[in-house]
Copies of this chain bind each other. A is one copy, B any other.
Amino acid sequence: MDIDAYRDLDPPARVLLGPGPSNVHPRVLRAMSMPSIGHLDPGFLKVMDESMDLLRALFKSANTMTFPVSGTGSAGMEAAIVNFVEPGDRVIVGCNGLFGERMIDVAQRCGAEVVPVSAEWGRVIEPEAVQTALRSQARTKLVCLVHAETSTGAWQPLEEIGRLTREHEALFLVDAVTSLAGCDVQVDNWGIDICYSGTQKCLSCPPGLAPITVGERAMRALEARKTKVQSWYLDLSLVRQYWSAGRFYHHTAPVNMIYAFREALRLIHEEGLEKRFARHQLHGDALHAGLEALGLALHAQDGHRLPVLTAVRIPEGVEDLKVRQALLNEFGIEIGGGLGPLRGKVWRIGLMGHSSTRANLVQLLTALEAVLPRFGFKLERGAGTAAALAVLDG
């Protein structure tokens, strides 16, 4: 093997404005690069406890069972579902984008009887539709919704559906992968029983962990299972024994990722949650105004557009991939393409966590103004940034 052919790592400089990862604050990278210690070292147990405290405050929850799952956001989804679904359980899933579809796939692999409540990709799920599904004669175990649908940019309201779910004595499971730390997530107030996220979106931590929180009602359902959880790795009845006073060894925790996670949480609480949500909202509003001023159309339902992830329609005649390559190669800016039925139809722009800055927003709009006319798309130069700045400066 010619090992000299494998050079020093040299990742390109990027402004990460896709659907994740977002740019990571240098303090998080520095924390992650501290020397590894043992996963049962008293020094590490303190890091775990503090991370749990900071995470509870972020989820706005008093749930004891609140910690990062040792896998990416999708592992969080799987943990959230496999622990609470047994074969034959009736599960209602909101299906209006890729991540709702993925929940259906995961639930079916657990033997669930899935009842999809569908809406067009880009629209939100209406409480009435969930209520109809809940009113069926069969008892529902779980209602699953995606708070921020990363494939469409839709922002799902949760509070009323949370209330309905509880009325029907089902558990309420929410995917907050793209919303947590960018949009308000009130686990306890909104009656959410199980909520998970990922680290690489609005938390601005590298990908690799899935924060999760599980309430008492859900823990009782876990304890009442008749069958073993099908995943040993994600079995919360085992994992919880490590993330609690017993510190019983389950698997070796990803120590350095948890260093990074704790530091990302510190940054979030230093900024303050409400101030952080307002920053994301302001930059999202400015982006939306700027894109519309350029003559582009936003994909998600009006009134339900996420500030942190925007799906914008690709104009007729403009080549998806060539635009993204020009942004990446000429400006160092990453944005995302569409998924599933929206492939080639939308771009997905993230303004998440440390990436959600005035400078990044203005750079992106300027780059789009430079690139789009190459494809015959007519726009008024300067209109995008002017509209965005008008929002930013109030």
Contacts and interface: CB of A to CB of B under 8 A. Distances in A.
Interface of A: 1, 3, 6, 9, 11-14, 16, 18, 20-21, 23-24, 29-39, 41-44, 47, 50, 53-54, 57, 70-75, 77-78, 82, 102, 105-106, 108-110, 198, 200, 206-208, 228-233, 249-257, 259-260, 262-263, 266, 269-270, 328, 334, 339
A72 B24 CA distance: 22
A17 to B, nearest CB: 10
8 contacts: A1-B54, A6-B50, A6-B53, A14-B37, A14-B41, A16-B37, A42-B328, A207-B253
Given A32-B33, A70-B75, A6 B251 contact: no
Contacts of A32: 32-33, 256
Residue of A11, A20, A54, A206 with most chain B CB atoms under a 10 A cut-off: A11
Contacts of A328: 41-42
A109 B229 contact: yes
A357 to B, nearest CB: 15
Contacts of A259: 9, 11
A233 B105 CA distance: 11
A232 B6 contact: no
A21 B38 contact: yes
Contact of A6 (B35, B54, B339): B54
A33 B38 contact: no
A51 to B, nearest CB: 9
A262 B251 CA distance: 23
Max chain B Cβ within 10 angstroms of own Cβ: one of A44, A53, A70, A334: A70
A34 B14 contact: no
Contacts of A110: 230
